[in-house]
């Protein structure tokens, strides 16, 4: 087995990436404090062709040295917009027939492995603050909540880890039959 060199990976240029068809998934980061988490989510969204990221509330925005440290240029390839109010944004997206999904431990949540994807739908994945999670006001307007089953003594994951797991699984469900 030989490790591949960067030149052997067949990476797209930023221009080529922007021309690629994206999966019908948008990510909302609401009040995410850590700039490293923001950068990491950008990088994951680039890897799995997420349509767009909305940064809301106190979530940091590019250009920023700390975001760049983990995004490694993904802030240039992934479309993003800042919106002050996640609630107003989510209401707007819901009115445009997006299915709004809270990534949160909640009453009636669906385990990630059991979540059904309708390839005709547009999805919004909402990730909340590292400590407080998603506000109840936002939970009230979401269509559903997805939960990652956890079996240890801790019942939370770092948001960038959580986003990586959820986005990977959703990407696989969308691309499974392609």
| pLDDT of the residue at 169 | 97
pLDDT at 155: 87
pLDDT value for 176: 80
The CATH number that applies at residue 111 is 3.40.1280.10
Q: Is position 2 within any domain? A: no
In a domain, 1, yes or no: no
pLDDT for the residue 178:
63
Q: Is 47 left (phi over 0), alpha (psi -120 to 50) or beta?
A: alpha
Number of domains forming the structure of the chain? 1
Structural domain boundaries enclosing 118? 18-175
In a domain, 53, yes or no: yes
Mean pLDDT for each 10-residue chunk of the chain (178 residues)? 92 95 98 98 98 98 97 97 98 98 97 96 98 97 97 94 98 85
Q: How much is the pLDDT for 140?
A: 98
* Burial class of residue 52, CB neighbours in 10 A (0-12, 13-18, 19+): middle
**Residue 70: per-residue pLDDT:** 97
17: exposed, middle or buried (Cβ count in 10 Å: 0-12, 13-18, 19+): middle
Residue 79 lies in a domain: yes
Q: Does 36 fall in a domain? A: yes
Residue 109 lies in a domain: yes
**Inter-helix orientation angle 35-47/159-175, to 10°:** 10
Whether 4 is covered by a domain: the verdict is: no
Task: State pTM to two decimals.
Answer: 0.96
What integer pLDDT is reported at residue 177 of this predicted model? Answer: 62
**Burial group, residue 153, by CB count within 10 angstroms (0-12, 13-18, 19+):** exposed
Q: Which CB contacts under 8 angstroms, 24+ apart, belong to 14-23?
A: 14/73, 14/76, 14/77, 17/46, 17/77, 18/77, 20/49, 21/49, 22/49, 22/50, 22/51, 22/52, 23/48, 23/49, 23/50, 23/51, 23/170, 23/171, 23/174, 23/175
Summarised one tens digit per residue, pLDDT across range 122-133 is 999 999 999 999
Inside any domain, residue 149: yes
pLDDT of residue 129: 97
């Amino acid at each position: 087995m030989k490790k591949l060199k960067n030149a052997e990976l067949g990476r797209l240029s930023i221009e080529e990436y922007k021309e690629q068809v994206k999966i019908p998934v948008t990510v909302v980061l609401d009040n995410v404090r850590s700039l490293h988490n923001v950068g990491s989510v950008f990088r994951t969204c680039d890897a799995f062709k997420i349509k767009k990221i909305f940064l809301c509330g106190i979530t940091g925005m590019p250009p920023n040295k700390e975001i760049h440290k983990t995004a490694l240029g993904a802030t240039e390839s992934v479309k993003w917009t800042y919106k002050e109010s996640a609630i107003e944004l989510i209401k707007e997206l819901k009115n445009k027939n997006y299915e709004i999904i809270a990534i949160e431990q909640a009453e009636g949540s669906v385990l990630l492995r059991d979540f059904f994807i309708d390839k005709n739908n547009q999805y919004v994945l909402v990730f909340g603050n590292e400590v407080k999670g998603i506000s109840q006001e936002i939970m009230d307007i979401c269509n559903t909540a997805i939960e990652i089953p956890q079996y240890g003594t801790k019942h939370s994951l770092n948001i960038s880890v959580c986003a990586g797991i959820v986005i990977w699984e959703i990407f696989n469900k969308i691309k499974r039959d392609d």
